[in-house]
Structure 1
Amino acid sequence: MNYRHSFHAGNSADVVKHGLLIALVRALQQKPGALTLIDTHAGCGLYDLEDDRAQRTGEATQGVVRAFADSNPLLDDYRAAVRAVNEGTEPRLYPGSPQVLAQLLRLQDFLILNEKHPEDIAALRASMRGLPAAVHQRDAYELWLAVLPTRTPRGVVVVDPPYEQTDERERITDTLAAAQRKWAHGVTAIWYPLKNRETHLRWKQQLRRLGIAKFLVIEHWLYDAEQPGIYNGAGLFIINPPYAFTQGLAPLLEAYRAALAPDGHRGVISAEWLDG
């Protein structure tokens, strides 16, 4: 599956992913200790929703546009992150995860970004100019392991690949297993698209065999029945989520489900432990 992000910026997956990342980091920041935030597949950092690539798919109309039209205050933190990179009231620019994470930094926190694609790394460096971030151009899975354990006692690794390679899931599984041996207490968030339930169930079985104790699975299926051969939604695997995040998760997920449900569909968004 090719998920080059310039074509999909601001879609429903971005809304849920970035809303949950904000909630996750803020839950960790309830403690004063420093955090290291690491984005292994950082992308361009900032996207123009009026760009030809975004206009070609029009996916933002089913994502950020719906989120802005919704009145639920539980989406306010997400909307504030988007407004922070825009001058007007309507979102023309969309912040990728690097920009969202940069907005969350406290003085004691650190941000490490990585992007291998030669065009995207140039755009990333331009979009992050003047912001406190270390930017790398390396293989994402090599960097993931190289920065662990983090120099701060706590940290978050965000893994958000385009799933262009057929072995992407295998590389994630293998690298996560190695990362757990180096950094068992760390928090890891892995984004994934949902296209085929059978493929996804097989991957969850492989991940279950890693024996990770605190492995949260959040899935957002857009449609009431699977739509074969097309994008059906997205999810996050979150390893070691803090209690402050999980205790407030149910109403937050329901708010995103209601805001993003396609016309004629209720959709499903759920959270469960992998070993459950």
Structure 2
Amino acid sequence: MNYRHSFHAGNSADVVKHSLLIALVRALQLKPGALTLIDTHAGCGLYDLAGDAAQRTGEATQGVLRALAAADPLLDAYRAVVQAVNDTAEPRFYPGSPRLLAQLLRPQDVLILNEKHPEDAETLRRVMRDIAAVHRRDAYEFWLAMLPTRTPRGLVVVDPPYEQTDERERITATLAAAQRKWAHGVTMIWFPLKDRATHARWTAQLRRLGLPKLLHVAHWLYDAEQPGLYNGAGLFIVNPPYAFTQPLPPLLAALRAALAPDGHDGTLTAEWLG
């Protein structure tokens, strides 16, 4: 499954991922100590929703545009980061995780980005000039090389395109190695959902790692699996703080309601795997 960011900017997966990323960072920032924020697959940083790639799929209409139109105040934080990169009510641009994280930085925090794709990396350097360091390395080698973080606390965001057949295996192996180096660290791993059987096998593999605090968030868009189609997306979050998990259910309910396709309720749930 090809999930290069530019074709899917602002879709329902981005809305859920970025809403939870905002909530997670803000929960971590309740403590005054410095945070290191690391994005292993950073993409371009900023996306043109009127560009050819985004227009080819049109997925923003079922994602960010629905979220902006929703009345629920629990989505205000997400709406604010989108509106911050736009001059008009209807967004022309969509902030990827790097631009989103840059908006959340405190003076004591550090942002480190990595993007291997040469064109995307060059765009990212322009978008994030004077804001963050940008690397162009293998994402999994980079992930481990950055650990443990120089600050006492940190967050690693792993958001691959899932173009390689062994992507899930590499994530599983790297996560296991990362936990040996940085057992207390927080990690957020994004994934697409295409069929339940494939995802169940991967979930079982991650459960066998025996991580003491592993949260599984899954957003199934449709009331029944749609064979051969994109069915949703989700997150694995390692070591999320209580300040994030305690208020999470109402936020998930608000996101599910805002993003449900016409004729479907869908589900957006969180469960502990360890």
TM-score under structure 2 length normalisation: 0.99
Q: CA deviation at 1:130?
A: 3.2
* Amino acid paired to 1:33: G
Q: Does 1:208 align with 2:207?
A: yes
Deviations 1:114-169 (A, max 9, x none): 000011001101111232x1110000000000000000000000000000000000
1-structure distance, mates of 2:13, 2:250:
18
Task: Tell me how many residue pairs correspond in the alignment.
Answer: 274
Equivalent residues in 2 for 1:1-276, closer than 5 Å: 1-131=1-131, 133-275=132-274
* Amino acid paired to 1:211: G
1-structure distance, mates of 2:5, 2:229:
16
- Please list every run of at least 4 consecutive aligned residues from structure 1 whose deviation after the TM superposition is greater than 3 angstroms: none
DSSP-derived class of the 1:81 partner: helix
Deviations 1:71-107 (A, max 9, x none): 1000000000001111111111000000000100000
Deviations 1:8-67 (A, max 9, x none): 000000000000000000000000000000000000000000001100100000000000
* Amino acid paired to 1:230: L
Unaligned runs of 5+ in 1: none
Identical aligned pairs, as a percentage? 79
Unaligned runs of 5+ in 2: none
2-structure distance, mates of 1:140, 1:130:
22
Superposed CA RMSD: 0.5
TM-score under structure 1 length normalisation: 0.99
2-structure distance, mates of 1:130, 1:158:
21
1-structure distance, mates of 2:76, 2:139:
31
* Amino acid paired to 1:43: G
